[in-house]
Structure 1
Amino acid sequence: MDERIIDVDGNEIIISVDGIDDMELSGLEIADMIIEEAEELEGDLIITAKYLNVEFGEVYPAEIVIEDGLFKEVIPIITDDDNELDLDYDGILIPGFIDSHIHIESSKLSPSNFAKAVLPYGTTSVVADSHEIANVLGIDGINWMVENGKYAPFDFYYAVPSCVPHSSFENSGALITSSDIEELLKRDEMVALGEMNFPVVLSGDEEVLRKIEVAHKLGKPIDGHAPLLSGEDLKKYISYGITSDHECTSFSEAIEKSRLGMTIMVREGSSSKDMDALLNYDDRLNYLIEEEMAGRAVVETIDDAMAVSPFEILVCDDIDAEDLSKGHLDNVIKKAISLKINPKEAIKMTTFNPAEHYGLNCGAIEAGRIANFSLVDDLRNLNVSKVWVHGELVVDDGEVLFETEAIESKPSIVLDEVKAEDFDAKMEMSWTNSLMDETTNVFAIKAFDKSLITEKSEETLIVRDGVIQPDLKKDVVKIAVVNRYGGNDIMNGFIKGFNLKKGAFGASVAHDSHNILVIGTNSEDMAKVVNIIREHQGGLAVYSSEEDLCEVLELPIAGLMSNRDIDYVADKNRKLMEAANKLGCNLTSPFTTLSFMALISIPHFKIINQGLFDVDNIEFVDLINNL
């Protein structure tokens, strides 16, 4: 077949000219063909470049046609010599990354500012569980997230929060019923039922089971949340149709869940860093050998088999602005590559696999899918130079090509000014020793760096004038939860693991109910921190009267998010970290770790505004051990 290239208004149009020389087509007919081709071309974006076919792990040159925000055609370019190719771009086009389990609120950024922060790193979509703002503001909070996200060229999908309130044991700001969830799940942007806390599922809570039934009726996947769950309890939990888990902290835990059919999300966030454990090379090798010996796997070469992760998806879950300012899923992928996962497989774990799990029409460069993609230098370094969303260029040479709108605050803190004595853990003195110090045994929380899991520790502390004293030599300091939703009730306790030597720090971010959490060496500084947070209608604060030190990040949006961009928030985060370090705290991410000390869906021992809580036994525990 003969072809002719004709220039029409700067566009090269290729038309078939078979038979023209024999006068089989008139000039008018040729003109009609040109017009038809021109009309088809109008509005299309055509790119020639090498691209990653992520489903099959192949890279080859192609002509990629985009129309109305979708990939219209992906036409391979057949050549024997890559050097002869005249392509539009050097490098490789890859699908836009999808963070399929994330809480945007944990970045302290609004959705639109979050999008602006992650797009330069190649992330074009998220599946966000907004149970943080939902526990504060309910459906109004979810709607606010959706509307704010529309100010950025970015695909926000949401998992409907399943646990609002988080529990019946504490005060929070809202209630979302099974009827509410049914209406929410009917919306296009709501693609799943959010993570289900295993204790309430296993208890057979009728309202929770109705929420699960609604998700099944509407054909939406159900996210799991089952740290350390195993054995028959795990099987029972999965039997409700819960399809994923992002809480695995060991290889054996992840494999058990995977064998029972769960999609495993390997988490690498600011505080919870599980990738080293879940993608440990020796564990994977031993597993592969066991699978082959049991006849469940056929291994042709060890290297090829080991290059494929036994788990499906990479996620961040919770990531703060300072970490986000240095990269997003690109860094997570590069870490997976460093653990001997093939780059194509690692990219697939953040593109094709999450899209398939949640039924999203993105995650691959193929006809009919949303045209979200990036240009990278190569598949190992993943240096992103350009990003397209729905076929529109939104990042060029690292520069974001749009601005976000001003953000309206969402105040949510109802609290009177607090006093220093509110943070004294008191007990009755015995009449025999009223003139001297006594001691008492208390239950304290034991926290660990880079982990959300805590332990219960028994500590002997001095009681002076009826007030239980911290012991800095033992690394036992004070912790308190302040009800921010009215009532001014305060629960005091003790914690170790933060190595705090002076002052106090606290936050209005305390998963999931988000009452104010404060940790300190003395009551005066703790009260000051809480009053600073109250004054700003939310925030993170570090204060020390001894050091004449005060740092604050204001979070006026529901006490969870800033109305500023990532540069401001990341800079404030760094200053807060430096301030906490100056007071002796040596944790990798002290505010993130602190925020989980009130999350009673994660083992083993936590504090909420109504008391100390034993997660394993689902019961309150007295501060003082009277046994």
Structure 2
Amino acid sequence: MTSSLATSISSLNSVAMGDKKADLILKNCNLLSVYTRETLPKIQIAIIHDRIAYVGPDASHTQGPKTTVIDVKNKYVSPGFADPHLHIDQFVLPSEFVKQALLCGVTSLFSDPIDIVSVAGYKGFQEFLKLGEDLPVRIFQVVPGGLPVDAKFSNSNSLTLSQEKSAVKHPHVLGLGEVFSWTKVTLREPKTMKSISSMLELDCIINGHTAGASEKKLNAYVSSGILSCHEPINFDQVLERLRLGMWIMIREGSIRRDLKEIIPHVLSHGTYLNRLMFCSDGLDPLDITKFGHIDHCVRESIKLGLKPIDAITMASKNNFDYYNMGKDLGGIAPGKLADILIFDDLKSIKPNKVFVGGKLVVDNGKIVIPIKKKAISPWFKKTVKLKKFSKNDFAIKSKKKDVLANTISMQTEIITKLGSVELQSKEGQISASLDSDVWKVAAFDRIHGTNQHSIGFLENFGADIGAFASTWSFHENDMIVIGSDDSDMALASNHIIKNQGGLVVVKSGKILASLPLQFAGIVSTDSFEKVSSNFEKINNTIVDLGCKFARPHLIPLFLPFLALPSVRILSGGIVDVKKRSYIQPIN
């Protein structure tokens, strides 16, 4: 339980004066001061309970017989890092993810659980909040601000205005998550504007998503009280937003890595850094293992020429200034919560020790406290509401011998365009054509149990497999099945139903790779290590069998994503995003 500053001032004051003794003293610190941009040698830090009482050259007056004293031996000491925007409702449970985050020095996570809400609504949001509590890291949440992506087509759950107001009463819910359909703002869509207005009245933060917006549209968006964005991919976009008073979260994560395109120009331009932060927007298990988390952003920025103190300030203080939490977090100073990192050097930026609320949680690069997996409500493992499939469920029928089919042509794992191809029917059914790299693709409502589904064609996938299926997608969470063989598509679907979610690769009636995602069909209940291994096998299997893209798991993830052009597939049909109309699979 985190103490409040209001109830702590008497004990903090007493320790600072020496009238009461500290619980912990860190001595011989090379303190990285995010308030003055300097490194202060030989500093001592006195802590009582979970807050800092004294920072200065001599804390001996705060030492008593029960005070623990740690000699830092002139190592570097900084505030804990924060990730101001990420989605932790992916891959592993919060209890597993925080172990990896802490090893990277990340002591605060600002989570947008948009896909949990997409699957499980307000009940799911409340349950997910509980999974983030009582962990040795600070997890703050926002109410998802992007659902439904497009009410005309979306099948996802979302929160009502009254549920949003109720949600932000929770002390760890800070406001509204990324409002990524910015056209809803510029067109003043009633529910969106009411939601924003309600959050502003409650003095809540509102996170932004402005990909593709500029000039008058960007001005309209910012004037609506949305003051951050993690979408700029180059310095020109950063500068345009900074000039309008926005805060920028420079993204370096598994979906995109924008740091190298931005930091050098920030330095050459001499841009103020006080509204710049780093964020991941979400990390897959392989990336956090290979690169790290916010520590990676700090390391890379230093390599690109940023001063270590400035990179650390962007990784700590600036985040809490943005979220109006600076009186409690963001620096090492009297009154602040004692979230502290100790580094051997300023090149590796790997913390040797991590304290959260004055408690040692990482020592010598290892977690030193127990982190228990919390019990999960049984209904959360029953969200794939589908009946057993047969190959007939993937049939596309036509009385014509030759047909012109519309296709979803994959340009990258994420970007699509509308294509067309001539196909032949046999015995009244149109099959996929591996020779022409034409696949069937299907989307099934697996949340509401409606049996709503659509089947179409996809081009440019390339892998020599029978089927690839997934229940995790942005932000519809339909079950997506890509395949060249109807029987394998049925097998893949039935395997996912048995697991109640996940990703699976099938060929010739055999399961080649599987990643179970038992929790809401989007998160695994297995260990980080097991999930990482299964995830790696999914991608490697598809790539090794000829897929044209390096990260094939992203294909079903983005195929239903209505916030991107050009063609998407949902359980309700194939959608031309720009025209906001359905496309028939066969002309």
TM-score of the superposed pair, with normalisation by structure 1? 0.82
SS in 2 for 1:194: strand
Q: Does 1:520 align with 2:483?
A: yes
Alignment partner, residue 313 of structure 1: 277
Alignment partner, residue 369 of structure 1: 336
Deviations 1:328-387 (A, max 9, x none): 111232223333333322222221111111122312112222111211122221122111
Alignment partner, residue 300 of structure 2: 335
Distance 1:36 1:263, change over 3 A: closer
Q: Does 1:418 align with 2:389?
A: yes
Distance 1:35 1:203, change over 3 A: closer
Q: Does 1:66 align with 2:29?
A: no
Deviations 1:546-578 (A, max 9, x none): 7x4432222111111111221121111122222
Out of 462, 465, 468, the residue aligned to residue 423 of structure 2 is 462
Deviations 1:578-600 (A, max 9, x none): 22223322533321343122111
Contact 1:309 1:341 in 2 (8 A): no
Q: Distance in 2 between matches of 1:447 and 1:73?
A: 57
Point out the more displaced range, 470-479 or 613-622.
470-479
Contact 1:53 1:364 in 2 (8 A): yes
Contact 2:444 2:453 in 1 (8 A): yes
Deviations 1:147-190 (A, max 9, x none): 12224211000111124444323454533111111111122101
Q: Calculate percent identity across the aligned residue pairs.
A: 28
Alignment partner, residue 566 of structure 2: 604
Q: Distance in 2 between matches of 1:471 and 1:310?
A: 55
What amino acid is aligned across from residue 335 of structure 2 in structure 1?
G
Alignment partner, residue 135 of structure 2: 152
Tell me the CA shift for residue 612 of structure 1. 1.9
Distance 1:200 1:37, change over 3 A: closer
Tell me the CA shift for residue 87 of structure 1. 4.7
- Corresponding pairs, count: 553
Q: Distance in 2 between matches of 1:474 and 1:368?
A: 66
SS in 1 for 2:553: helix
Distance 1:476 1:200, change over 3 A: farther
Contact 2:94 2:132 in 1 (8 A): yes
SS in 1 for 2:524: coil
Q: Does 1:188 align with 2:171?
A: yes
Aligned pairs for 1:287-366 within 5 A:
288=269, 305=270, 312-326=276-290, 327-360=292-325, 361-366=328-333
SS in 2 for 1:349: helix
Out of 105, 108, 112, the residue aligned to residue 122 of structure 1 is 105
Tell me the CA shift for residue 473 of structure 1. 5.2
SS in 1 for 2:89: helix
Alignment partner, residue 394 of structure 1: 361
Contact 1:258 1:264 in 2 (8 A): yes
Distance 1:88 1:379, change over 3 A: closer
TM-score of the superposed pair, with normalisation by structure 2? 0.87
What amino acid is aligned across from residue 355 of structure 1 in structure 2?
F
Out of 247, 258, 269, the residue aligned to residue 253 of structure 2 is 269
Q: Distance in 1 between matches of 2:317 and 2:107?
A: 13
Distance 1:492 1:272, change over 3 A: farther
SS in 2 for 1:387: strand
Q: Distance in 2 between matches of 1:128 and 1:490?
A: 31
Q: Distance in 2 between matches of 1:590 and 1:373?
A: 39
Distance 1:374 1:35, change over 3 A: closer
Distance 1:367 1:525, change over 3 A: same
SS in 2 for 1:100: strand
Q: Distance in 2 between matches of 1:333 and 1:36?
A: 32
Alignment partner, residue 560 of structure 1: 522
Tell me the CA shift for residue 388 of structure 1. 0.5
Point out the more displaced range, 405-414 or 470-479.
470-479
Q: Does 1:490 align with 2:453?
A: yes
Tell me the CA shift for residue 38 of structure 1. 7.4
What amino acid is aligned across from residue 455 of structure 2 in structure 1?
N
Contact 2:117 2:157 in 1 (8 A): yes
Alignment partner, residue 588 of structure 1: 550
What amino acid is aligned across from residue 216 of structure 1 in structure 2?
L
Tell me the CA shift for residue 59 of structure 1. 1.2
Distance 1:341 1:423, change over 3 A: farther
Q: Does 1:384 align with 2:348?
A: no
Q: What runs of 5+ residues in structure 1 fail to find an aligned partner?
A: 1-33, 79-85, 289-304
Q: Distance in 1 between matches of 2:564 and 2:138?
A: 30
Contact 2:467 2:481 in 1 (8 A): yes
Distance 1:88 1:190, change over 3 A: same
Tell me the CA shift for residue 439 of structure 1. 4.2
Tell me the CA shift for residue 201 of structure 1. 2.5
SS in 1 for 2:31: strand
Contact 2:26 2:72 in 1 (8 A): no
Deviations 1:11-46 (A, max 9, x none): xxxxxxxxxxxxxxxxxxxxxxx9998761153444
Q: Distance in 2 between matches of 1:603 and 1:88?
A: 53
Q: Does 1:48 align with 2:28?
A: yes
Aligned pairs for 1:607-618 within 5 A:
607-618=569-580
Distance 1:236 1:471, change over 3 A: farther
Distance 1:414 1:310, change over 3 A: same
Contact 1:121 1:328 in 2 (8 A): yes
Q: CA RMSD in A?
A: 2.7
SS in 2 for 1:124: strand
Contact 2:28 2:74 in 1 (8 A): no
Distance 1:171 1:235, change over 3 A: closer
Q: Distance in 1 between matches of 2:538 and 2:33?
A: 43
What amino acid is aligned across from residue 377 of structure 1 in structure 2?
D
Q: Distance in 1 between matches of 2:258 and 2:363?
A: 33
Alignment partner, residue 5 of structure 1: none
Tell me the CA shift for residue 471 of structure 1. 4.5
Contact 1:447 1:496 in 2 (8 A): no
Q: Distance in 2 between matches of 1:444 and 1:488?
A: 23
Contact 1:228 1:248 in 2 (8 A): no
Alignment partner, residue 9 of structure 1: none
What amino acid is aligned across from residue 517 of structure 2 in structure 1?
L
Alignment partner, residue 298 of structure 1: none
Contact 1:506 1:591 in 2 (8 A): no
Q: Distance in 1 between matches of 2:80 and 2:87?
A: 19
Tell me the CA shift for residue 101 of structure 1. 0.4
Distance 1:468 1:252, change over 3 A: farther
Contact 2:156 2:475 in 1 (8 A): no
Q: Distance in 1 between matches of 2:239 and 2:16?
A: 56
Contact 1:456 1:605 in 2 (8 A): yes
SS in 2 for 1:524: helix
Alignment partner, residue 133 of structure 1: 116
Alignment partner, residue 300 of structure 1: none
Point out the more displaced range, 332-341 or 389-398.
332-341
Q: What runs of 5+ residues in structure 2 fail to find an aligned partner?
A: 1-13, 60-69
Q: Distance in 1 between matches of 2:393 and 2:301?
A: 47
Q: Does 1:201 align with 2:165?
A: no
